[in-house]
Structure 1
Amino acid sequence: MLDAAAEFFAEKGFDVTSIDEIATEARVSKGAVYHHFADKRAIFDEVFQVSQAEVLAHVRKAITTASGDEDDRQPWLVAVTAVQDFLDSYVTDARKRSLLRQSASVLGVRRCREIDDELALPLVLGLLEELRARGELKDVSIKMAGTVIFGTLCEAATTLALADDHEKAGREASQVVSHMLSGLLKNAS
């Protein structure tokens, strides 16, 4: 059901997608859809969560690759890699861009933030804690820095999702976010 719903939401949009279409494509009854989901918005919520989890799985994989040996780990390089891969997930996947564009209007800003706080914010906070533990981070509130950084990343991702040239917007967003984040480093000029 979720795959069918994701395809319809991404291709046609939330407003014009019907429960009937989702049920037909998923080869289940309309009653089966309502057994699992209260309404179409609940389906979109789940589809969006899955999409965001996929983005973060991609980021975690990139972080693991960039991390190398624990002794050689360079948290700043890991953070920059995470930013790049987060944005690249939207640059390279039209479905994720479409779902992101619709998320605030379908779910509301508060629900989108709840999803982000649950799925992504812990990753950002973990990277900041690692930078602090290594003595590389200026004396800032980790919670506030993480919230502001992730808010910036969300705005960058949304902006590139709305852009006519999402590849160019993705490159520009990655550059700007990286420069902004470098200001948190103790050795930043």
Structure 2
Amino acid sequence: MSEIALGAGPGALILASKSAARRAMLENACVPFAVRVAGVDEAAIKAESGDLDAAALAVRLAEAKAVAVSRDDETAWVLGSDQTLAFENRLISKAPTLETARERLRAMRGKTHHLHSGAALATKGQVVWSGVDTVRMRMRDFSDAFLDAYLEAEGEALLACVGSYRLEGMGSQLFEAVDGDYFTVLGLPLWPVLAELRRTGVLTA
């Protein structure tokens, strides 16, 4: 098992996210951790952060999640993470319905957008590190028929994805080019996170 009990002792790592993709990345990297979802009001944070660009907003959301959970367990290190998507100078949020997802994917096809993955590590209610990585994503000019088949195959699971796609699934067929790190697309800037976990002693190898 790669998961440890909450409060298992000093140095325990908690992932403050319900994302299956982020959990899988840490598990595959053999990082021991537990999961505790942060109960932060993302809509309120976004409303209060109008001065930030999409990349900085991803970091602020990640920091808020990490701090919220770390206040409940002062012995643990807490990893928060979040993604934002910028398209044509606009912030794109998760689609509330599949029809909204259809409209957004139609608008983005044949064009480029930027996906930002922010991460933060906190302990004792304080952020000790945060960072962000950005990937440039270019969608191919796919047909309406493909879009219909894609939405039918993927279903409402897409509503949990900021861009209405999962690159680890059929969503890879939406793209013609991706410039950046694959882990960042999945939702976590994994290399910087692993480096920080080693720096702080959470990982000792």
Establish whether TM, by shorter chain, passes 0.5. Answer: no
TM-score where L is the length of structure 2: 0.29
Which one has a larger percent helix, Structure 1 or Structure 2? 1
TM-score where L is the length of structure 1: 0.31
If you compute each CA radius of gyration, which structure gives the higher value, 1 or 2?
Answer: 1
